[in-house]
Structure 1
Amino acid sequence: MHMSGGDGLRGRVLVIDGGSGRAARRFPPREGRPAPALTRILSAIAPQVLLATDGVDSVLLPAAVDADTVRDHLRAAARHPGPLLLHVGGHLVRDRGTGALALELDRDRLPWRVLEEELRLRPMQSGTLVIGDLSADADALPQLRVQPSPLGAGLPLWAAVNPDVTQVGTFTRALVEALHGGRPGAGERLTPEQLQQQVHHVLRPETQIVVSHAPGWQVFRNTSRRLGPTLVGAELPSVAGPSPVPPATASATAPVPVVTQRSPETVTVELPLTADVPPFDMPPLPVNPPTVHLTQSGLPPVRQEPAVPVTFAVPVQDDLAPYRGAIGAIVAAADAGEHARAVNEAITLERNAVRSHGTDSEPVLKLRQVRAHVTRLAGLQREATLLYRDVALSLLDTRGADDPETRQAAANAEACWRAIEDDADARRLGPDLVRLRQALPDTRRLSAVERHLSRLRGDTPPPPSRTPEDTAPEDIVDDVVEDAVEDAVEVLASDDVSATDPADDARDDTAEDSPEDTAEDASEESVHRAS
């Protein structure tokens, strides 16, 4: 089914982020910590990429509370005349009374059959796809292994069900990364089958994959740049990954749900060629080809040097290209002391990018760091802390805790937090910084943040052993040099991010703490602008 955005019908994306049987999901999976919010992961990509129409309405339910509210949103989405993409995430449980599957919400449970009841009246030509990123209780897993899967009964579903609750989000993150990269050489729109091999490859072997949607619907927009025509004509089939959905026949009935396991095997597709037709444009060979001697008699053979491999650079899209001039003007205004103008222009620029790319897309996160940078220069340390904290949380969900830019954003948030002059404001933000540091692998920084928060609260814990993080802080390093415009644009457009290790920059001071120097008592990491 080909979907075109020029038919005047807007698309709709509905994201239902259910519960996981634990507290609110805000940080990446850790020991004893649930999975990240799926709405935050999906906000890293534009709705027009998730649903390849010219206009898309997005409805996000980041913390679905009760079943009645979710049912109302499902009913409204089912009445939408245009294409619909429904993303459902959360934890599946087995109802002890009825034995049916249900999606766990924060304060309620939504029977899974409600999805089929609300969507069954949608016309097939409207276009509907349900994506599920789910975990399941041990009691529900045997029921899910039945073929056909009860999850896909009556639903155009593409879902991944994992027995580990902390794996919720892996499927969605893999889909977002696949859509960011696109598929070079393919058309302007992609089908789920064209992405399934790449997405399924990152899932654990025990993950159950359920596919019950009709094949061939071009749902997603291909964001990859076209690399030119291929050698093989368009009439030949493309080499695609194995699809768990059998091809539709002329007498196709309702699609049958299929449960598959991820397989590491490589599938080779051979293009058929008849014996009497030479491949491509190769001229016919003579009946009696002459013998050709490659070396002359009496001369030693010439040794051929090994060929030097040539790497062709793939064109990289510069997401910041439309904003580079404005970024330079904003940073130049901040350096000139026009802080109010710089902050206001940074806010306007970020809002424009949100409308074009999505709330937590890559360009928006970089522009948000520009805004945090000029906000800090204006002396608004509390606001800068909040901005850097939000960037760090978004990067935690989309890139993970080990990404250098994630760690740098967290370091910037901590440095701005330590610079807040109002102790009451610093105390209120302290728990957020503690939770942020808990999500990162550096336990030394977590201890330093906890000690600084204890001092702000007036606690008097026993003095800890001296560490480099507790030495007097270095001055905040300003990355903006004399040529502010060119330097800001160059750094912000770069893909390389340098994360500063506070242990390397701290002074080796072994003196004990004293009440007089508590303000200088903890290391302050260098604040960098967006990378």
Structure 2
Amino acid sequence: MATSTRPAEHPGYALLIAAEPSVRHPLAVAAMLPQLAAVPPARLVGTSYASAVQLANPDDPNTVLTTVRTAAAVEGPLLVYVAGHLVVDTRQHRLHLALARTTARTVRYTALPWHWLATELQHRAPGTTTVVADLAADPDVWQSLVQQEQALDGPYALYGAVQLHDRRHRPSPSYTHALAHILRTVPARPTGDDLHHQTARAARVEPTATLWLGPAPANPSPPSPAVDAHQVDVPAPRPEPAQLTAPFPAAAEDPHRAISEASQAGRHAEAGAIAAAWEQAALRQHGAISPEVAHWIEVRAVIALEEGAPDRACELWLRGAVVRLTAGQSEIHPEVAAAVDRAHYAWHRVSDLARARELGTELSTLRTQVPGKSGAREDVQRRMADLSRALLP
């Protein structure tokens, strides 16, 4: 019997690299690698067949280079996952991925230069290479990326996140966790952009301390069922300087109105994506500690409350208040007081007792600085005492 044939699809290839420097552990990437490795390689790459290679805590940059070179030689689609801590060689001012033996003094000899990765991938066919990165960076390196003095771009589609690591921010590999969960549970693998959007929305990261790699998070999903359609109490619009490029074109003219309309229609994920995108723009324009960034954090808090997540709303309003205070606004500033009062309001609607106690601890601390109306501090103290008794073993 005659059979027709068609050109065979080249198999895909996934290279998973996760490294933790020995002297610090900003990201527990080695522990997360098995979650990603458990995803079928074909699902990782987006082909009908694929193979995968893991490098867990490599300690020699030349060994990593050899493995990257082997991966770059495959003809089919290639996905390179890179997770760990970004450092800079102070002599050449080039980005490196810290490996297992990397210290501050040995970056040049024990870390993987990022440009090696770009160089090895530059000869591949256009559109066949994807790099997914879940990274952390110290303040100087992170700021250089935010200000585009350094870049991770190359001859590939780049997705992922770089989180700030300092005394106040302790990043976690939540982008990897969300990515693995989505790839294991969705019925069909999304496109690269859509997969990044979904992962960014699901990852539990600090927005003001996260630089997204790839397109800004958006909401490609269909609208969710409508909820009570009352006007969302979005904080008053903050004027944006003319030079600030709109990060979410659909809401470029009036993001507050777009957020309100989306939330009224029950499209809370869309509303949150618009607010998060403008928060990222404010971060780049004004810095992480600024009233402009606090404003968009508070907008996301309103959306969270509308969505029925009072714990997240409380957390965001508390964060907004802290950003405002750190930015120099006084304890009696109306916007500071409003943020703490709204956090207090949302806190009383948190039904999970352990979570309420956790949030209440931070609220109690803020109430010592921002007492609010008469009896507000005492109210926090009473509920915290009730929660402590309820949670006794």
- Name the TM-score, length of structure 2 as normaliser: 0.48
Greater relative CO, 1 or 2 (CA 8 Å, sep 6+) = 1
Name which one, 1 or 2, has greater alpha-carbon Rg: 1
Greater fraction of residues in helix: 2
- Name the TM-score, length of structure 1 as normaliser: 0.36
